[in-house]
Amino acid sequence: MDTPTTALEPRDVAYFQRGAWENPRFWSRLGGQPDLASKTALDLGCGHGSLCIDMAKAGAARVVGVDLNERLIRFAQQNLQRNYPELADRVEFHCIDIADLPEGDFDLMTSKDTFEHVMDLPKVLRDMRERLKSGGRLYAAIGPLWNSPFGDHDTVKRLIGVNIPWAHLWLPDRLVLRATAKRLGRPLQSYRDLGMNMLAFRDYRRIIHDAGFVVEFFQPNCSRHPVVRMFSLLRHLPLVGDYFVNNLYCILRKP
């Protein structure tokens, strides 16, 4: 991935550049990047836009990135215009709900580390399916899952300065949320107010298999990390298995 050369917010540039290793890892865990030549693609939860840029470089005819975070979309648009003008006629970014896009338009869709923040996942999956062409595929990575060791996305770490596995599950919610609300300057009633849907692996399995797709690939704990490999064994334990599912990768095809 090219390195942006014009002035943008440094923290956003740094996050965008993570795509240089995150995007190849995303595709490798899904069996490899599909043929994108002349395809239309949508990335749900596109964030800073690195995956969209990469898909356009791989030959996609049109790439649409959607996200509900206005600041991230603004960066993605500015970065595209300043650093990738040769792709500007094939890549677009919108701060929009996918439900507001036309139906039946895309050859494939991607979503990387976004579904764990979607509050009504069945509806979003339905909206995505309706906007895929017949035979189109959705490539998704989900994680960290809520019941995994750090499923709170570092909420507790920001308060105490250290990551303690599963702390968000045994520390009283009211204590964590009260301290976090004070730090953020806004009221919080639930971790959902911080953008986490709190779904367990069993919830994703049910929702995905009920979403009207053909499930072509469904793999929890995609990682070469030795701890995650150990989790792949522990996740089969009765009652506590969900606490050892760190992520989930899947490929879903519209019939």
Q: Domain range holding 209? A: 10-147+197-253
What average pLDDT score do residues 77-94 get? 98
60: domain CATH number is: 3.40.50.150
What average pLDDT score do residues 225-230 get? 95
Model pLDDT for residues 162-203, shown as the tens digit of each residue = 999 999 999 999 999 999 999 999 999 999 999 999 999 999
Q: Residue 1 pLDDT > 80, yes or no?
A: no
Model pLDDT for residues 132-150, shown as the tens digit of each residue = 999 999 999 999 999 999 9
Q: Assess whether 27 and 94 both reside in one domain.
A: yes
Q: Assess whether 190 and 228 both reside in one domain.
A: no
Contacts of 241 (CB under 8 A, 6+ apart): 201, 234, 235
Whether residue 83 contacts residue 16, with contact meaning beta carbons closer than 8 Å, is answered with no
**Order of strands, sheet of 91-95, starting from the edge strand that comes earlier in the sequence:** 91-95, 62-67, 40-44, 106-112, 132-142, 248-253, 214-220
Q: Residue 37 pLDDT > 70, yes or no?
A: yes
Q: Assess whether 104 and 51 both reside in one domain.
A: yes
User: How many secondary structure helices (H) and strands (E) does the chain include?
Assistant: 10, 7
Residue at 78 is within a domain: yes
Residue at 3 is within a domain: no
Q: Assess whether 132 and 100 both reside in one domain.
A: yes
Q: Assess whether 211 and 114 both reside in one domain.
A: yes
pLDDT of residue 103: 80
Q: Assess whether 49 and 29 both reside in one domain.
A: yes
What average pLDDT score do residues 210-230 get? 97
Q: Assess whether 98 and 19 both reside in one domain.
A: yes
Q: Residue 20 pLDDT > 80, yes or no?
A: yes
Q: Work out how many domains the chain is built from and give that number.
A: 2
Using CB atoms within 10 Å of the CB of residue 233, give its burial: 0 to 12 exposed, 13 to 18 middle, 19+ buried. Answer: exposed
pLDDT of residue 5: 45
pLDDT of residue 56: 98
Residue at 204 is within a domain: yes
pLDDT of residue 104: 77
Q: Assess whether 109 and 18 both reside in one domain.
A: yes
Residue at 88 is within a domain: yes
Q: Assess whether 96 and 138 both reside in one domain.
A: yes
Whether residue 206 contacts residue 200, with contact meaning beta carbons closer than 8 Å, is answered with no
Q: Assess whether 159 and 33 both reside in one domain.
A: no
Bridge-partner residues for 40, per DSSP?
62
Rounded to two decimals, what is the model's pTM? 0.94
111 vs 108, 115, 183, 201, CA distance in Å?
11, 7, 30, 17
Residue at 49 is within a domain: yes
Bin 166: left if φ > 0, else alpha if -120 < ψ < 50, else beta: left
Q: Assess whether 112 and 183 both reside in one domain.
A: no
Q: Assess whether 112 and 162 both reside in one domain.
A: no
